[in-house]
Amino acid sequence: MRTYPAGTIIHQKDAELDYFGIVCEGYHRVINEFENGNVFMIERNDPIDFIGEVTILAGKPRTSVTIETTTPCTVLYFSRKDFEDWIAQDIHFLRLVSRKVAYKLYRSSCNRGNRLFYPPQHLLLAYFLQYIEEYQSPVVKRTREEIHEETGISVKTLNRTIRRLKEEGLVGITKGKVTMTPEQIARAKEYIGKQTCKGKV
């Protein structure tokens, strides 16, 4: 069992994986780092979650992503061999792990589809609404670079889109951070609802 402070790399992309972890407390993000220095956030996970299950189930020796804590995290570790023996002997645990992997793939597929189909204005409003609901805060305490990593929208497009949203009265800006009033939240939800309906036609 280990506890990590926020901002700690639990494991690095392309590193050998000889363990399986269960995240008991805290949040972390899964990111993909590229040689050109760009970072793309695949997903943000909350407890209870697993670390290393995809790599092990795929039969690969090295990880394909980097995992970084976003809050203090407590992780319970097992050796890779113990995990492999566990899923071989316990069908219920194997089903639990498989269901978790399938859920991540399902969510990731939906998110990728949204990024391809919807314009930046829709993606950003959905991102802001999700943040405000998750953190119960009217202020989105994320830098432009962090939003870029989490949405895949370039910083240049982010700035242009946020400026447009502000001009349309859908968001506010306070000390460089995006803010939303209850009225703006209601309008943003209505806007997203209309866009989503159009996408289903």
| pLDDT, tens digit, 9 for 90 and up, residues 29-75 | 998 887 777 777 888 888 999 999 999 999 999 999 999 998 999 99
72 alpha-carbon distance from chain centroid: 16
E strand residue ranges, the chain: 2-4, 9-11, 19-25, 28-33, 39-45, 49-51, 66-69, 73-79, 139-140, 172-174, 177-179
Q: Which of 8-12, 67-71, 103-107 has the lowest mean pLDDT?
A: 103-107
Give the pLDDT of residue 114: 67
Mean pLDDT for the stretch of residues 175-200: 81
**68-78 pLDDT per residue, tens:** 998 999 999 99
Give the pLDDT of residue 194: 66
What SS3 class is residue 18? Answer: coil
What is the DSSP annotation of 169-201? Answer: TS-EEETTEEE--HHHHHHHHHHHHHHHHHHH-
Q: Check residues 146 and 76 and name the one with the higher pLDDT.
A: 76
Indicate the residue type of 33. E
Give the pLDDT of residue 201: 32
Is pLDDT at 192 greater than 80 in this prediction? yes
Is pLDDT at 130 greater than 90 in this prediction? no
CA distance 73 to 68: 10
